[in-house]
């Protein structure tokens, strides 16, 4: 599966526009991680064969590149293309009816009794034809793209059967093939126990391991395996069984961990060398230390925190102290984070979690790329990486996380091509 993703990356760079040099702009390279913006004032960025061939102050542009066609940045700021490293963008339907009911006083238990909650999205997603599911999901991904996203991770997890989980992942792959955006996919069969397995979670996990995962691997549909480790979802023991199967299949792992309680999920995913532990509001210091040792990224999802009106903030100070890279993502999903803007997620991460503006931008670029295992390819403006870049009409990089209003870049470039 990883080979497949690399093939796609190569295909994207091969058919690029002619070689150009972008000038009349400033660059926030994000090459230092969250330490600084990696600012270059009055920069030049040379794009050749879809990759960054040179970047630096314009006055230092080597003579060899001076005859290239130029592209005018109009005094704006070029940043790495934004990477949304945690979404559930492929699903059918919406849950605004539940939102409305809850605001008029209907309890969560009553909504669940009426068949609402995650299982209503499961019903809608199972019922949707593949083309219909693709059309609904495409609109969401395009909305993310219009806000500067050049890479998006998409999870399954609303099918909960072999047929519907593979349908979701095929749709995600297809969106990556049809749209100018990189798509990474995660198999999230262990998102919820489907109604037909009610009270038999172990049997359902066995189905994930013995039937779903092999089918997904056969079709090359997933880049990683994810799960929801929580009292209302799956236990650490069940997650571990799934991670063993993922390891045997050669797939990376990540985890929805410590969102509502401390289950030791972050330490578990770190033990498997996982790419990321996501949510992590209830993460303790031992979990932070385990993540630091393993190089596991902490993915912050302030949209769900906001929407659920949570009050327990992730342990940002400990994550900083241990040097755990922090990413920021939309968690775009119909139940707890109906959000389709990365700059809005950045703003929420700053306001609700007190990230610095540099941390928010690093979280939406280089650290998000790390959370997907593709930091060698995208996520910062550095020589040799794909020219995934977005140009913003802003005065300073902090403007991206300052505004509550979703931001839109003036130019979006994927693998060197204006898209
Ligand atoms: Zn999620």
* Ligand 1: centre distance to CA 88 (Å): 6
pLDDT, position 96: 95
pLDDT, position 1: 37
* Ligand 1: centre distance to CA 160 (Å): 15
* Ligand 1: centre distance to CA 354 (Å): 21
Question: Residue 333 in contact with residue 362, Cβ under 8 Å?
Answer: no
Q: Which long-range contacts (CB under 8 A, 24 or more apart) does 348-351 make?
A: 348/302, 348/303, 348/305, 348/306, 349/300, 349/302, 349/401, 350/401
Q: Give the Å distances, CA to CA, from 372 to 15, 52, 168, 254, 376.
A: 24, 21, 19, 9, 11
Q: Where is 386: in which H helix or E strand?
A: none
pLDDT, position 3: 40
Is the per-residue pLDDT at 11 higher than 70?
Answer: no
* Ligand 1: centre distance to CA 200 (Å): 23
* Ligand 1: centre distance to CA 408 (Å): 24
pLDDT, position 13: 47
pLDDT, position 170: 98
**CA–CA distance, 63 with 199 (Å, rounded to integer):** 70
* Ligand 1: centre distance to CA 16 (Å): 33
Q: What angle do helix axes 162-178 and 118-127 make, rounded to 10 degrees?
A: 70
Q: How do residues 282-294 score in pLDDT, each as one tens digit?
A: 999 999 999 999 9
* Ligand 1: centre distance to CA 304 (Å): 9
* Ligand 1: centre distance to CA 277 (Å): 11
**CA–CA distance, 69 with 99 (Å, rounded to integer):** 52
Q: How do residues 40-54 score in pLDDT, each as one tens digit?
A: 999 999 999 999 999
**CA–CA distance, 5 with 7 (Å, rounded to integer):** 5
pLDDT, position 249: 97
**CA–CA distance, 328 with 323 (Å, rounded to integer):** 16
**CA–CA distance, 121 with 115 (Å, rounded to integer):** 10
CB atoms within 10 A of CB 26: 21
Average pLDDT for the chain: 95
Is the per-residue pLDDT at 14 higher than 50?
Answer: no
Asked whether the whole model's pTM tops 0.85, one would answer yes
**CA–CA distance, 269 with 167 (Å, rounded to integer):** 26
Q: How do residues 227-250 score in pLDDT, each as one tens digit?
A: 999 998 999 999 999 999 999 999
4 pLDDT tier (thresholds 50, 70, 90): very low
**CA–CA distance, 362 with 108 (Å, rounded to integer):** 36
* Ligand 1: centre distance to CA 295 (Å): 20
Among 197, 320, 220, 150, CA closest to 4: 220
Pairing status of strand 276-279 against strand 417-418: unpaired
* Ligand 1: centre distance to CA 261 (Å): 15
Q: How do residues 310-359 score in pLDDT, each as one tens digit?
A: 999 999 999 999 999 999 999 999 999 999 999 999 999 999 999 999 99
Pairing status of strand 182-190 against strand 411-414: unpaired
Q: How do residues 374-401 score in pLDDT, each as one tens digit?
A: 999 999 999 999 999 999 999 999 999 9
Contacts of 57 (CB under 8 A, 6+ apart): 40, 41, 42, 43, 44
* Ligand 1: centre distance to CA 158 (Å): 11
**CA–CA distance, 297 with 291 (Å, rounded to integer):** 7
* Ligand 1: centre distance to CA 73 (Å): 36
* Ligand 1: centre distance to CA 86 (Å): 6
For residues 294-301, give the mean pLDDT. 98
32 pLDDT tier (thresholds 50, 70, 90): confident
Is the per-residue pLDDT at 262 higher than 80?
Answer: yes
415 pLDDT tier (thresholds 50, 70, 90): very high
Q: How do residues 101-121 score in pLDDT, each as one tens digit?
A: 989 999 877 887 888 889 999
């Amino acid at each position: 599966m990883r080979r497949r993703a690399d093939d796609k990356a190569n295909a994207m760079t091969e058919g690029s526009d002619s070689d150009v040099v972008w000038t009349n702009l400033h660059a926030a390279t994000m090459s230092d991680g969250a330490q600084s913006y990696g600012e270059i004032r009055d920069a030049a960025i040379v794009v050749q064969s879809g990759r960054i061939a040179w970047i630096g102050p314009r006055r230092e542009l080597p003579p060899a590149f001076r005859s290239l066609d130029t592209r005018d940045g109009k005094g704006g700021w070029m940043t790495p293309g934004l990477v949304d490293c945690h979404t559930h963008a492929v699903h059918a339907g919406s849950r605004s009816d539940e939102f409305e009911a809850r605001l008029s006083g209907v309890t969560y238990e009553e909504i669940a009794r009426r068949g609402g909650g995650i299982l209503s999205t499961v019903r809608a997603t199972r019922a949707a034809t593949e083309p219909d599911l693709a059309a609904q999901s495409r609109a969401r991904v395009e909305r993310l793209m219009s806000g500067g996203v050049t890479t998006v991770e998409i999870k399954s997890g609303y099918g909960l059967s072999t047929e519907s989980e593979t349908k979701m992942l095929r749709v995600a792959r297809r969106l990556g093939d049809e749209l100018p955006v990189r798509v990474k996919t995660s198999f999230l069969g262990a998102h919820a126990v489907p109604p037909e397995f009610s009270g038999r979670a172990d049997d359902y996990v066995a189905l994930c391991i013995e039937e779903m995962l092999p089918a997904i691997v056969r079709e090359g549909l997933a880049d990683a395996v994810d799960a929801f480790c929580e009292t209302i979802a799956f236990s650490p023991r069940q997650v571990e069984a799934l991670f063993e199967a993922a390891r045997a299949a050669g797939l990376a792992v990540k985890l929805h961990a410590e969102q509502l309680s401390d289950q030791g999920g972050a330490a578990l995913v770190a033990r498997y060398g996982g790419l990321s532990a996501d949510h992590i509001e209830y993460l303790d210091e031992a979990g932070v230390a385990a993540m630091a040792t393993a190089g596991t990224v902490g993915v912050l999802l302030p949209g769900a925190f906001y929407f659920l009106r949570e009050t327990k903030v992730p342990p940002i100070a400990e994550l900083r102290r241990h040097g755990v890279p922090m990413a920021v993502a939309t968690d775009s999903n119909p139940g707890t984070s109906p959000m389709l803007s990365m700059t809005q997620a950045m703003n929420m991460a700053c306001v609700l979690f007190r990230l610095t503006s540099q941390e928010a931008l690093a979280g939406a670029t280089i650290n998000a790329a790390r959370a997907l295992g593709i930091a060698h390819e995208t996520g910062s403006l550095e020589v040799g990486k794909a020219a995934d870049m977005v140009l913003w009409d802003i005065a300073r990089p902090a403007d991206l996380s300052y505004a509550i209003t979703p931001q839109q870049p003036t130019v979006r470039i994927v693998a060197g091509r204006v898209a």
